[in-house]
Amino acid sequence: DITLRFDLASRQEVLIDFREEREKIKEVIANGVPVDKVRFENEHIILPASSTVEGANGIRIVSSPAISH
């Protein structure tokens, strides 16, 4: 699993560089809540603004075992 922590000035869409196959990602959890509307485009994970908060954010990417960091 990969965990990212960052601060945002306001709720906003977040792009995460992710050069792995979509099939390797089991779940994305933002601030303790599973994200249903994750988009995968051009080696990016795109989280909707509705999954972020103003201030501290924590994103956990749950993957299958064969992921490289």
The tens digit of pLDDT for each residue in 15-68 reads 999 888 888 899 999 999 999 999 999 999 999 999 999 999 999 999 887 555
pLDDT band at 69 (very low <50, low <70, confident <90, very high): low
Distance CA 69, CA 18 (A): 9
Q: Looking at residue 20, what is its pLDDT?
A: 82
CB atoms within 10 A of CB 30: 20
3-state secondary structure of 51: helix
More confident residue, 9 or 64: 9
Distance CA 10, CA 54 (A): 4
The H helix count followed by the E strand count for the chain is 0, 7
Rounded-to-integer distance, Cα 56 and Cα 25, Å: 23
Nearest CA-CA partner of 46 in 11, 21, 17? 17
